[in-house]
Amino acid sequence: MSRLMIIPVTIATAMAVCVAALGATVTDLGPWYQALAKPDWNPPDVLFPIGWTLIYALITVAGITAWRAAPTSAAAEWVLGLFALNGFLNISWSLIFFRLQRPDWAFAEVIVLWLSILAMIVFCGRFSKSAAWLLVPYLAWVSFAAALNWAVVQLNAPFG
């Protein structure tokens, strides 16, 4: 790795770790979550941290790749902004679902999260196909999470 890339890679990795840590901090798998009815196809809880670790690694590489490939400084700023917004939405979903205990509201939020991932794929794909492809597993993962979120709402509503 060139010396020029050490700082952006370090910053991107630190930001991904911060988003992951904040998300993990607000995720409470305690009695409320355990008492929720879940669909038969709900994966074991142990798979979620493994999946998220892989997804965050891909997001980090995609962000660095897109930022480096951005044709202008304005495009690079858009990359940073889209990834920052997505990180905020990612943490917000966990906060709404687990801390506020509102899977119904979290489902509405996950749609916005999904759209933000799609926006990152479309925007980054204009100048970096590899960055866009690196984000596809994230979109798939959040699509699955949204379906699971919806199933939890259907099985447990009303909330609040």
CA angle 44, 103, 150 (to 5 degrees): 70
What does the pLDDT look like over 77-132, one tens digit per residue?
999 999 999 999 999 999 999 999 999 999 999 999 999 999 999 999 999 999 99
Measured between alpha carbons, how far is 95 from 66 in angstroms, rounded to an integer? 28
Q: What is the mean pLDDT of the chain?
A: 93
Cis bond before residue 44 (omega within 30° of 0)? no
Query: Is residue 37 predicted with pLDDT exceeding 80?
Result: yes
4: which residues sit within 8 A by CB, 6+ positions away? none
- For the full predicted model, state whether its pTM sits above 0.85: yes
Largest pairwise CA distance in the chain = 54
pLDDT of residue 13: 83
Query: Is residue 51 predicted with pLDDT exceeding 90?
Result: yes
Q: What is the mean pLDDT of residues 39-45?
A: 96
What tokens were used for 127? Answer: 């100048």
